[in-house]
Structure 1
Amino acid sequence: MARVVRSTAFRRTCTRRGAVAVAAAAWAAFAASSRSPGDRAFFSIFGGAMKPAGKQIPPAEVVGAALRSADGPNKQSTAWEVLDTTRLPNQTALVTGANSGIGYYTALALAYGGAQVLLACRDPKRGEAAKKAMEEALQDAGRPAPTIEVVELDLSSLSSVRMFTTTFLKEGRPLHLLCLNAGVMAIPKFETSRDGFEMQFATNHLGHFALTRALATRIAESAPARVVTLASEAHRAPNQAYDLSDWPPSAAKYGDWRAYQQSKLANILFAREFSKRVALIPGGDLVSSNAVHPGVISTPLGRQQVLKGKVLLGVFQDRDEVQGAATSVFCLTAPQVEGVTGEYFRDCAATEPSEFATDAEAGRRLWELSEELLVKEGFFVRDAGEEG
């Protein structure tokens, strides 16, 4: 396998996409009346490339179809078209937030490809329901059912992350594919996690940071391996959202969309920084780490949104959940991205994130801040070799 490298040349061969165009006049008028600059910035970035959402097809019917995409993967591709004929024998995958939404279809696609899939879910009962649905879908599609397992993991709780990673490491399992998918979005009122951190920062970034940091050596030992972090175009926010001294957000300065923007920016900074640091671990030069924007999708991610946010996201929804999982599946499985790391993908193609998201110093500072927070909370980040 080719050595994993940061590939500027690869990115240049992909379709170039900067920030999307400003929304239509009616949309801009609404955004202008929005209650905060953060709201206006978030909603304005999605105005340029919208289409009606694709039809939501039952999993069994979609998996059974698994059609080849004649034009290659793009915005309209589904997870099944991206997966195509790729097979994942002897691969172990972990998908967070896998009981619904994009995570569900990402996990189902990986299982369809033959990977052993761990569904990391906050609610084990919902996880078991998702597992049953996946197994039925695979059976209907005539696919041999791989091992699908539900594991309890609450990303907003460092004790839950510690419990999961300790057990995982002691069991000696390999980990070839890690999809950091779980998240919450624009919680209307300031909430904190069990550990006292703003909920979006805790769930979207810090929990995933702790998870990946604890499993880094095991991932490197399992290489070749791929890590995909779900980010968003929402990271393209005003500079005021980029002050790391204000991370994690405080109650006094809290804004629902601004906090979401910050967490999505953190996702890209983390993915890029991890791509550098994991390469220093033996075997880590064969581990890729990329961030993806899944599209504007109506999923359980926005379950806490007030009516305004739900209506707006519905209007600007540009794909369904099966299509939303496509870029994650592409980065986890496609031969085209073998050896590509530290990139930001949108519509199954590498694209430029915001200028601040490529700031190496900001990535380093965020990493150090995150580790400091873990130390203060007593989260012992252990290497895979320290399993005793």
Structure 2
Amino acid sequence: MPERRWTTADIPAQDGRLAIVTGATSGIGYEAVLALAGAGARVVLAARDAGRAQRAMAAIRRVHPGAALEFQPLDTASMSSVRAFAEAWRVEGRPIDILLLNAGIAWLPQRQETEDGFERQLATNYLGHFALTGLLLPSFRPGPASRIVPVASIAHQRGTLNFDDLQFRAYAARSAYRQSKLAMLMFGLELDWRLRAAGSEVRAIPVHPGITRTAIIRRGGGASPVQRLTGRLLFALLGQSAARGALPLLYAATAPKAEGGGYYGPDGIWEARGWPALSQVFPHARDEADARRLWTVSEASTGVDFLT
């Protein structure tokens, strides 16, 4: 278990280490970049919008003038973008120490389909990250200090994998979001098992940020007026800042005591807010047959095969 009240002050020195953070320009992604850069890491902001990335880097450098930051374009909803990012990385040949899989969208009011034919929440939140991980895995520095951190959600508790319609053609906004976050958690757990089975010391450690006040909620619109009002009240009463929500991500990415295959989130009531601690994985997220089936479907969907 992590120490009580683990904070960014407890991050070990990250000098000489390189982190890639998806969804890095706002919310918990931005806060993770801020903290990692402050601890000495070189951080790559992998994001869709160059302008937002430049503004984020400027803001971070106002806090940490010597921060080693760079922007690389990445849209996790696009397989061509994911492959272009990974190919550019392969050519550069730099070793990766941390891959923080954070980019996400939530509760799109209408079903949207990506250029690859995927439902957009599943593509952005999960399939793009699955493919990115597989393509970047050969670039990881060997050793248990190298971490892959998939960002899941307490929404996994009510999620189901709809294998008969993973792309949610019979669309329901919140169900599609819950499925994507359940998939991220199951991916993280299965990935760590497969890494160990392959003899790799790289660790996969899924996390969730609890109930955190970020733009992902403001962008989502797939809720009734009553649901939106209830959601606003819930976030006002239980929500925590993005800086606090980023702590489980940072713990998993940097703490020597973080356990591969563990699942970390806030330690408070309903895991909504608090300090990093081991979190509850609901039983359906540990279904080994479903995890293997999800992996096989993900490989077939993305065309990225690894650790098979």
- Whether TM exceeds 0.5 here: the answer is yes
Distance in 2 between residues matched to 1:268 and 1:125, nearest whole Å: 31
After superposition, the Cα gap between the structure-2 partners of 1:138 and 1:310, relative to the gap in structure 1 and judged at 3 Å, is farther
Structure with bigger RCO (C-alpha 8 Å, 6+ apart): 1
Question: Is the 1:327–1:345 Cα contact (8 Å) retained in structure 2?
Answer: yes
Deviation at 1:146, TM superposition (A): 3.5
Structure 2 counterpart of 1:357, from 285, 289, 294: 285
| Superposed counterparts of 1:175-254, under 5 Å | 175-219=96-140, 221=142, 224-237=145-158, 241-250=160-169, 253-254=170-171
- Residue 9 of structure 1 is matched in structure 2 by none
Amino acid at match of 1:277: R
Deviation at 1:242, TM superposition (A): 3.1
Distance in 2 between residues matched to 1:91 and 1:112, nearest whole Å: 12
| Matched-pair identity in % | 35
Amino acid at match of 1:164: F
| Superposed counterparts of 1:38-117, under 5 Å | 72-73=4-5, 81-84=7-10, 86-117=12-43
Distance in 1 between residues matched to 2:9 and 2:191, nearest whole Å: 25
Deviation at 1:86, TM superposition (A): 2.0
Deviation at 1:336, TM superposition (A): 2.2
Residues 12-40 of structure 1 show CA distances to partners (whole Å, capped at 9, x for unaligned) of x67xxxxxxxxxxxxxxxxxxxxxxxxxx
Question: Is the 2:161–2:183 Cα contact (8 Å) retained in structure 1?
Answer: no
Question: Is the 2:107–2:220 Cα contact (8 Å) retained in structure 1?
Answer: yes
After superposition, the Cα gap between the structure-2 partners of 1:137 and 1:201, relative to the gap in structure 1 and judged at 3 Å, is same
Amino acid at match of 1:72: R
The farther-off stretch of 214-223 and 103-112 is: 214-223
Structure 2 counterpart of 1:278, from 186, 195, 198: 195
Residues 115-157 of structure 1 show CA distances to partners (whole Å, capped at 9, x for unaligned) of 0000001111111110111111113xxxxx2320011000000
The farther-off stretch of 254-263 and 343-352 is: 343-352
SS in 2 for 1:292: coil
Distance in 2 between residues matched to 1:105 and 1:261, nearest whole Å: 24
Gaps of 5+ in 1: 1-12, 15-70, 75-80, 140-144, 384-388
Distance in 2 between residues matched to 1:173 and 1:86, nearest whole Å: 21
Q: TM-score, normalised by structure 2?
A: 0.89
Distance in 2 between residues matched to 1:85 and 1:234, nearest whole Å: 27
Amino acid at match of 1:287: V
Deviation at 1:296, TM superposition (A): 1.0
Amino acid at match of 1:73: R
List 4+ stretches of structure 1 deviating above 6 A: none
Q: TM-score, normalised by structure 1?
A: 0.71
Amino acid at match of 2:8: V
Deviation at 1:382, TM superposition (A): 8.1
SS in 2 for 1:316: helix
After superposition, the Cα gap between the structure-2 partners of 1:265 and 1:172, relative to the gap in structure 1 and judged at 3 Å, is same
Distance in 1 between residues matched to 2:228 and 2:53, nearest whole Å: 25
Gaps of 5+ in 2: 267-275
Structure 2 counterpart of 1:258, from 175, 195, 216: 175
SS in 1 for 2:219: coil
In our comparison, the structure showing a higher alpha carbon Rg is 1
- Residue 346 of structure 1 is matched in structure 2 by 265
Distance in 2 between residues matched to 1:111 and 1:262, nearest whole Å: 32
Q: Are 1:149 and 2:149 counterparts?
A: no
Question: Alignment RMSD, CA only?
Answer: 2.0
Q: Are 1:129 and 2:47 counterparts?
A: no
Question: Is the 1:96–1:119 Cα contact (8 Å) retained in structure 2?
Answer: yes
- Residue 62 of structure 1 is matched in structure 2 by none
- Residue 234 of structure 2 is matched in structure 1 by 316
Question: Is the 1:176–1:222 Cα contact (8 Å) retained in structure 2?
Answer: no
Distance in 2 between residues matched to 1:214 and 1:222, nearest whole Å: 18
Distance in 2 between residues matched to 1:169 and 1:381, nearest whole Å: 17
Question: Is the 1:101–1:299 Cα contact (8 Å) retained in structure 2?
Answer: yes
- Residue 289 of structure 1 is matched in structure 2 by 204
Question: Is the 2:106–2:217 Cα contact (8 Å) retained in structure 1?
Answer: yes
Amino acid at match of 1:355: P
- Residue 301 of structure 2 is matched in structure 1 by 373
SS in 2 for 1:135: helix
Distance in 2 between residues matched to 1:170 and 1:85, nearest whole Å: 30
Distance in 2 between residues matched to 1:311 and 1:98, nearest whole Å: 28
Question: Is the 1:297–1:313 Cα contact (8 Å) retained in structure 2?
Answer: no
